[in-house]
Amino acid sequence: MAVRVATAKLAAAVANEGAIGIIAGTGLSPQGLQEEIRKARKLTSGYIGVNILFAATQFAELVKAAMIEKIDFIVSGAGFSRDVFTWGKEFNVPVFSMASSARVGKLAEKMGASAIIVEGKEAGGHLGTDRSIFDILPEVVDAVNIPVIAAGGIMDGCDIAKALDYGASGVQMATRFVASEECEASDKFKELYLSSSPEDSVLIDSPVGLPGRAIRNHLTESLLEHKKLPIKECKGCLKHCSRTFCIFDALEKAVDGDVENGLVFSGEYFHRIKEILPVKKIIEQLVEEYEMCRRNEKPCGC
């Protein structure tokens, strides 16, 4: 979760519970990313990956920086190049590709992906589809022979059980872990998740050229009125940018606490989160709900 929402602290806390932590590399400098990886390594001996948006100008430098640090795996989202798989082979680092269709999943497998993370329209941030995860997931599972991980709207143990029943080998969760004590986004960012209503989940046109799911605020209202917002200083962070607003600046503002003028990315089901908890507690709850669901006790009313 970029920019700086998923840091070493959150990723390590997740890895310490036997799950897999992912640091957001997009928006960091290559050196900043290496420092973040070293910090995570000090906090955990569990698995840590790095997610980098292909659309980022520094994609190659960030991927190589993470590989030099012997990261356990790379996740490449919003497009991918052949190069990332070549570097993966060179450094012996598995590459997981984000995909929102069987076609892209198959292509990623052919190019050398070790796993596919299938993301549905329920996800936060940049979206590659308007279809639900549970519509796309079986299609991708049928199309590829590598592990498929389900992402988008997985909020509790029952959702995990359902994703596994649909053929997933695992799930990727983002939104639930924003509302954790270890997430280093500002308290205001997390509180907006708890105080907003279901209808406050909106789609904006990201300068990356994809829709982005966020929580309604002053910024999204201006963008939905098709306003172009002044860009103070362009850092050239994207390979292609529509320049309707500065997404880097907007994501930084939000993570630092200006949740009216910043861009608060969030999955569609943020409203199902009732409290901010330590990661350990969140994972214990997920396991308990999953087990109850399997025993047919249905804790979440699914």
Ligand X SMILES: Cc1cc2nc3c(=O)[nH]c(=O)nc-3n(C[C@H](O)[C@H](O)[C@H](O)COP(=O)(O)O)c2cc1C
Kindly state the smallest distance separating residue 78's Cβ from ligand X, in Å: 7
Bridge-based pairing of strands 48-53 and 148-151 is: unpaired
**Nearest to ligand X of 46, 212 (CB atom):** 212
Kindly state the smallest distance separating residue 231's Cβ from ligand X, in Å: 20
**DSSP string computed for the chain:** -TTTTS-HHHHHHHHHTTS-EEEE-TTS-HHHHHHHHHHHHHH-SS-EEEEEETTBTTHHHHHHHHHHTT-SEEEEES---HHHHHHHHHHT--EEEEESSHHHHHHHHHHT-SEEEEE-TTSSEE-S-SS-HHHHHHHHHHH-SS-EEEESS--SHHHHHHHHHTT-SEEE--HHHHTBTT--S-HHHHHHHHH--GGGEEEEE-TTSSEEEEE-SHHHHHHHTT-----S-----BSS---SS-HHHHHHHHHTT-TTTS--B--TTGGG----B-HHHHHHHHHHHHHHHHTT--TT--
Q: Distance between CA 281 and CA 144 in Å, rounded?
A: 34
Kindly state the smallest distance separating residue 233's Cβ from ligand X, in Å: 22
Kindly state the smallest distance separating residue 56's Cβ from ligand X, in Å: 9
**Nearest to ligand X of 196, 266 (CB atom):** 266
Q: Helices 59-68 and 82-91 sit at what angle, rounded to 10 degrees?
A: 20
Kindly state the smallest distance separating residue 256's Cβ from ligand X, in Å: 13
**Nearest to ligand X of 12, 123 (CB atom):** 123
**Nearest to ligand X of 127, 144 (CB atom):** 127
What residues line the site for ligand X (CB under 6 A)? 1-2, 5, 24, 26, 51, 53, 77, 98, 119, 122-125, 151-154, 172-175, 178, 265-267, 269
**Nearest to ligand X of 102, 185 (CB atom):** 185
**Nearest to ligand X of 163, 174 (CB atom):** 174
Measured from each CB, the residue nearest to ligand X is 267
**Nearest to ligand X of 2, 158 (CB atom):** 2
Distance of CA 98 to the CA centre of its chain: 10
Kindly state the smallest distance separating residue 126's Cβ from ligand X, in Å: 7
Identify whether 144 is preceded by a cis peptide bond (ω within 30 of 0): no
Kindly state the smallest distance separating residue 52's Cβ from ligand X, in Å: 8
**Nearest to ligand X of 24, 108 (CB atom):** 24
Bridge-based pairing of strands 125-126 and 115-119 is: unpaired
Q: Which of 202, 238, 69 is nearest to 125 (CA)?
A: 202
Kindly state the smallest distance separating residue 140's Cβ from ligand X, in Å: 14
